[in-house]
Copies of this chain bind each other. A is one copy, B any other.
Amino acid sequence: MLMQQDLHLADRRNAILRLLRGSVVRRQEDLVGLLHQQGFDVTQSSVSRDMRELGVIKAQGRYLPPGAELSPVQGDFGAVARFVRAVLPSGPSITVVKTSAGAAGTVAAVLDKADWPEVVGTISGDDTIFIATQDQAAQQRLIIRLQSSFRIQAA
């Protein structure tokens, strides 16, 4: 039961994983195009089925191979989450993160590294971080992200 067709299939699926690692694939049709360039004559139907079999995930509008984690920062967040005590808005553009004593710097470093689009800048003291956002919309998104990242109970 394994022959040319099946090799074709296995090869194609490997090619898909390679492509997903190397390129930004937003639609299955994109993948159809890339596969054609590599000599695979295939339609969106099969790509869709391949995706399911391979366990490909879709995040942030793009497809990623299984195991690839989008936010390499995620682990870091987990590591510092236990130091985070509260997330509070202060006015429309400043968000205050309270941490356990002495941990602010560490937590802030993780936040900086995350490089979130809504963050304009941060400064940190001993147990407090101020995060500046451009406006209230950004602040709102930020707060949601912080709560999610640190698994904080909503107010």
Binding site for B on A (CB under 8 A): 1-2, 6, 9-11, 13-15, 17-18, 52-61, 65-67, 69-71, 74, 77-78, 92, 136-137, 140-141, 143-145, 147-149, 154
Q: Are A61 and B52 interface neighbours, CB within 8 A? A: yes
Q: Give 15 CB contacts A-B under 8 Å.
A: A2-B92, A10-B143, A10-B144, A14-B144, A15-B154, A17-B144, A17-B148, A53-B141, A55-B70, A57-B60, A57-B70, A66-B148, A67-B71, A67-B148, A69-B74
Q: Are B57 and A154 interface neighbours, CB within 8 A? A: no
Q: Which residues of B contact A9 (CB under 8 A)?
A: 140
Q: Which residues of B contact A70 (CB under 8 A)?
A: 55, 57, 66
Q: What number of copies of this chain does the assembly contain? A: 2
Q: Are B57 and A59 interface neighbours, CB within 8 A? A: yes
Q: Which residues of B contact A71 (CB under 8 A)?
A: 66-67
Q: Which residues of B contact A65 (CB under 8 A)?
A: 148
A78 to B145, CA, bound (A): 27
Q: Are A57 and B54 interface neighbours, CB within 8 A? A: no
Q: Are B1 and A54 interface neighbours, CB within 8 A? A: no
Min Cβ gap A113→B in Å is 15
Q: Which residues of B contact A59 (CB under 8 A)?
A: 55-59, 66
Q: Which residues of B contact A11 (CB under 8 A)?
A: 154
Residue of B nearest to A136 (CB): B1
Knowing A71-B66, A144-B54, the reply to whether A10 touches B154 (Cβ < 8 A) is: yes
A53 to B60, CA, bound (A): 9
